[in-house]
A = this chain, B = another copy of it.
Amino acid sequence: MEFNTDFKPLTVQPQEIESLSFEIITSEIGEHPFTDEQYPVVQRVIHASADFDLGRSLVFHREAITAGIAAIRAGKPVFADVQMIQSGISKPRIEKFGGKVEVYISDADVAAEAKKHNLTRAIIATRKAVAECPDGIFVIGNAPTALLELIRLVKTGEARPSLVIGMPVGFVSAAESKEELAKLIDGDVPFITNIGRKGGSPVSVAALNALSLLAERA
């Protein structure tokens, strides 16, 4: 492969872009309700979305940051609801602690079971993940039914997640599923979620990547 190398780009390198972006975010965010411990997650969510409103809509369980870091360091498996999240997660920082990132929504057994019971594949994939590891890390950025099922399994005692990042995006059940998660604020399941319709894969990934960076650095 030959490259044309006579181009002098005006752009900077990725690390510089990230640092400069973080400076801009900090200079523009204004007053916010987040602690110093929570702020790196907020910052990375805004970085991934360019959306300050979305960043300000985050809700943290009191143990979310410490428990999230501990779970990553303990090598708990990470279960993503869709492939885009699996693709986006910085896997070396999960794997160095013995963890892995799994996604079951496209598995043949999940599809068959979903069809049989007329349930979403997201519901069945959530059950499969909980059956494999009830205290895993769950990152849900798309499927409200996955999040609602996980909350149900928390209530039945079948799931005891080490961390839930629940930020489905959309117009049907997304906001409602996050409201259900936020109702667990006084419980003992650590979570990060947000209020409203917005959310999605990149912001869910950003939240987990912020925690894995903290796990590595702290």
Contact = CB atoms under 8 A, between A and B. Distances in A.
A9 to B, nearest CB: 6
Interface string A29-53: 0000000000000000001111100
Nearest to A121: B14
Interface residues of A, number: 60
A74 interface: no
Given A11-B123, A50-B198, 10 more contacts: A1-B128, A7-B123, A11-B144, A11-B145, A13-B118, A13-B120, A14-B121, A20-B171, A84-B87, A87-B87
Interface of A: 1-5, 7, 9-14, 17, 20-21, 24-25, 47-51, 82-84, 86-88, 109, 113, 117-121, 123-124, 127-128, 131, 144-145, 148-149, 152, 158, 169-174, 196-202, 205
